[in-house]
Amino acid sequence: MAANRIKIAQDKAELVKSLLASKETPGLFQTYVEVMIFAAALGVKYKKSVPLRDTTKRDPSPIPQENFASLGYDKIIKLLGIVETNDIQILASREDEYEDKRTQIFEEYANGGLEILQNQLRGVVDYEIQFLLILRKAVDYQENNIEEEFDLSRFLK
């Protein structure tokens, strides 16, 4: 079952690795899981979902979904699935087709977010300052594009 792992697009692999803290570099994130969650949130924020083409096999290798669950982030993947499909059935965790769909939705938003980051960080030496600017821009975007309040009743039909 391929859905057990979250895949990373080959053309974003270097970016994902560069965002991770290591002994040699002070990256912005401690785990690949955190990188992907942030990227997916950015993709959702800007409504940018990009299908994956070629994916990495190693370095970074696809991330087991248990890693997301152990940090409590599996709920984000499920919530994104519900919001995207408007179908509560997508939570059926034992059904491969639903797990595959949830995974695909998450991967595509993460890929979209990584594409945004790739464009924003191109040529940047100090990612920290640029990340602060990206976050500030997201807040400004939110304040200028306030939509209707989130209404849970649409899921109760």
| End-to-end Cα distance, the chain | 32
Helix (H) or strand (E) holding 32: helix 32-45
Which band of pLDDT confidence, cut at 50, 70 and 90, is reported for residue 150?
low
Tens digits of residue pLDDT in 47-96: 999 999 999 998 899 999 999 999 999 999 999 999 999 988 888 766 78
Is pLDDT larger for residue 21 or for residue 94? 21
Chain-centre distance for alpha carbon 121: 17
Mapped onto helix, strand or coil, the DSSP state of residue 20 is strand
Task: Say whether pTM exceeds 0.85.
Answer: no
The pLDDT of 91-103, averaged and rounded, is 83
pLDDT computed for residue 3 by the predictor: 46
